[in-house]
A and B are shown apart, each in its own frame.
Chain A
Amino acid sequence: MRPAPPLLLLLPALVLVPVLLQLPALIHGGGWELIGQFLLAALQPSLDPLVLRSVLTGLGVTTGMALLGWALSLLVGLVLGGASSRVLWRTVTGHEAPACVMRRALAIPRSIHELIWGLLLLQLLGQQPAVAVLAIAIPYGALVARVVSDLLDALPPHSLEALRAGGAPAPAALLTALGPALLPGVVSYGGYRLECALRSATLLGVFGLGGLGNELLLTLQSLQFRELWSSLWLLLAVMLTLEAAIAALRRRWGMPGRFGLRGGQVGRRGRELVLVGLGLVPVLILVAQALAVDPRALLHWQSLPALTANGWGAALALPWPGLILSTLVLTLLAAGLAVGVAPLLLLLVAPWWWGRLLLQLSWAFGRLWPPPLTALLLLFVLKPGVITAALALGFHNLGILGRLLLEGAEATPDASEQALRCSGSGARLALLYGRYSSLARSYLAYGAYRADVILRETVVVGLVAGSGLGAQLRESLSSFAWDQLLLLLVAYAVLTLVGEDLSDRGRRRLLATA
């Protein structure tokens, strides 16, 4: 008995079974009324000018932080990506070894979530706008660097060899041969990172690093749901606009890279790209000024409390196996929920035209709404614990995966599905057999990558819903136990690096058999 691809796609949804079985025991009385009020408030957001002004200010700060952090990460990522590319080192020095060293070193900033960076920097530098920007730029820069170096090393070497053989100096040859070929991939990935940056900036705000996130948290905690929805609707509008703009630009610029290039077009599009890039510079400077980001302030470090003598003993005595296990369980549950429930829901609503719209809207909220806030909302009716945390984290990632699944479904040909419909099978079975079959492997491959991201993100809900390494991290942070903190970071880094390796292998296997 071997499940066929369409069933493989739904297999992760089996985590719903243990989750639903556990759920009744988790529900506590009380909060349902609050949940009802929260949902009702969606229809009547506050239009008070005072509220709107503060929401708009917060929104400006959040998008500004996202934009600055993203731009910085692209810059850092391109430089470090070049520096960890084997092709580059080989061409310039003849050796590949430095590239490997760089790659390994970059694994560390990459493996630590931007929220941890943010909280650490907050302790070191104090509350200032630059903290959030830096917190986004560090892990994002390392992620972009990895993608850039992978892209560089995967490019066909012929044109570079030809230029070198013709006597061109190494830097000029590299730029001419690899630069244009690299561009479509970087633009496409860069756009995706900007979407992520907006989500990260909102999340950082929840933890007091500035912007709309804080507004969301405060209005939720004080049960001012109508004010909360003013923020949410506006944030949704910004996010959907950004996503649509990036998709449009990707179509305009990204496509020439994937399909055959028509003469002249690359040059023109290239010029357009450079113009947009140049236009971004003054915008970034203005944003930095408006946010009062001051790079000089980063030089003033606050002194840390001294380590106590018996600190290491206490740090080692933490319940490590339990912490790690609950982090892993949290990851698996959340990943299963996100990866499996998206196709399941799409299947359920298949017969109704409005079903897809409804899903799109709820998935957009999932993406937008930071997981710790979902966790807080869930805590109105559920007890804290792994399942509650997994539900919150799963909902957020469901939004991301669901959008991807829909995009994938729309991009695959509908011929088989149509043929099934024409022979009388229902909308759901036609979708399952006709569309999911061809979608399964690439979607699951992305799901494997997402599971790895989710592992990194467990810290985010752990801080609120009290489970896993994240919960311990919060305690250690607030008690200034640097030794514990260091060990926790090492544990996180090791876990995410192992997870990354596993998900890479899984992805390669899935794509190889496709």
Chain B
Amino acid sequence: MPNAAHPPSTAVLELRGVRVEGRRAPRLDGVTLRVDAGERVALIGPSGAGKSSLLAVANGLLEPTAGTVWWEGCPRARSRQGRRLQQARIGTLWQDLRLIEQLTVQQNLNAACLARWGWPKAVLNLLMPLDTPACRQALRQMDLDPALLEQPVSALSGGQRQRVAMARLLRQEPLLLLADEPLASLDPRLAAELLALLLEQARAPRALVLSLHRPDLLAGFDRVIGLRNGRIAFDQSAEAINAGQLQALYGQAENSQDLNGEGAALP
């Protein structure tokens, strides 16, 4: 439980005793973790371990039933405006990308600025190209041809879409980068490229939390958090992970689901 008397130090993200109810067993149970600026954290675990729930709590989509979440040292804002400003600092790379198919690449990139823009600019964006230099720059950063700006998103290839989603994420200029299994549906080359891009962007003051289904892409991360049955099984530096831990994390996942974390220990 958070102690209101001690103001928390400014971690980019901090979860304390977070619990999220599920249908049979809690989806998250007693999750406490802290991500500081510059940290790149991989979240691993078998499917159903609670990785997506944890990310949903981290980006404010899901409100925990118990425990608290702090962003940059502040709890969830009460006012609508405060909440929006808070959300604007959290960028999520969704597994299904969630680009707006009917809009052009440029309109999609600019959609990342809607939290800051007022109505007039938001409506103008739907009428004419806005902030073209910044959008071109965002595409170039992702090794994309700036001529793509006028294309509708539906006309892009899979790899291009992935990069446009990344460009949109960066255009939002978030402090906390979250990514839910962004590499799941990519071929190995594309996956490696995207991972490198994400890791490179996550320098202080930014921080990155990325969930992975497979444990073979952990190189480059500072920390690895293993989740199992909604609880943190381990939380340690990437180099210190050993095969036994991974085996314990992934082994017999189907059988032990009802036992609620047999062998899983809080760090």
Contacts and interface: CB of A to CB of B under 8 A. Distances in A.
A416 B115 contact: no
A4 B126 CA distance: 5
A4 B102 contact: yes
A183 to B, nearest CB: 33
B61 A418 contact: yes
B103 A423 contact: no
A425 B98 contact: no
B100 A437 contact: yes
A422 interface: yes
Contact of B122 (A429, A434, A441): A429
A424 B126 contact: no
Contact of B98 (A419, A428, A432): A419
Instruction: Identify the interface centre among B107, B112, B115: most chain A CB within 10 Å of its CB.
Output: B115
Nearest to A441: B102
B92 interface: yes
Nearest to B168: A423
Contacts of B104: 4
Interface string B112-151: 1011000100110011100000000000000000000000
A167 B59 CA distance: 65
A438 interface: yes
A5 B114 contact: no
Interface in B31-66: 59-61
A416 B112 CA distance: 12
A426 B102 contact: no
Interface residues of B, number: 35
A1 B150 CA distance: 12
Chain A's interface size range is 20 to 34
A491 B60 CA distance: 60
Contacts of B174: 423
Nearest to A418: B61
A164 interface: no
Given A438-B102, A440-B102, A422 B92 contact: yes
A6 B126 contact: yes
A421 interface: yes
Contacts of B87: 421-424
A426 B81 CA distance: 9
Contact of B84 (A4, A426, A440): A426
Nearest to A514: B102
A344 to B, nearest CB: 12
Contacts of B96: 415
Contacts, number: 88
Interface in A404-457: 415-416, 418-426, 428-430, 432-434, 437-438, 440-441
Contacts of B91: 423
B127 A433 contact: no
A1 B86 CA distance: 33
B110 to A, nearest CB: 10
A3 B61 CA distance: 31
Contacts of A420: 111, 114
B99 interface: yes
Contact of A422 (B59, B100, B103, B128): B59
Residue from the set B89, B91, B122 with the largest chain A CB neighbour count within 10 Å: B122
Contacts of A421: 87
B98 A433 contact: no
Given A6-B126, A429-B122, A424 B115 contact: yes
A5 B84 contact: no
A423 B126 contact: no
A423 B100 contact: no
A432 B122 contact: yes
A424 B111 CA distance: 10
Contacts of A415: 94, 96, 98
Contacts of A1: 127-128
Contacts of B123: 7
A428 B84 CA distance: 13
A430 B89 CA distance: 17
Given A7-B127, A429-B114, A424 B86 contact: yes
A423 B61 contact: no
Given A418-B61, A433-B114, A424 B127 contact: no
A477 B94 CA distance: 65
A423 B114 contact: yes
B127 A416 contact: no
B111 to A, nearest CB: 5
Contacts of A5: 102-103
B99 to A, nearest CB: 7
Interface string A1-32: 11111110000000000000000000000000
Contact of A425 (B60, B84, B101, B127): B84
A351 interface: yes
Nearest to A425: B114
Contacts of A2: 127
Give 10 nearest A-B pairs by CB, closest first: A424-B115, A424-B88, A425-B114, A424-B87, A419-B98, A4-B126, A437-B102, A7-B126, A5-B102, A424-B84
28 contacts: A1-B127, A3-B126, A4-B107, A5-B102, A6-B102, A6-B103, A6-B126, A415-B96, A419-B92, A419-B94, A422-B59, A422-B61, A422-B87, A423-B91, A423-B174, A424-B84, A424-B86, A424-B87, A424-B88, A424-B89, A425-B111, A432-B122, A433-B100, A433-B103, A437-B101, A437-B102, A438-B100, A438-B102
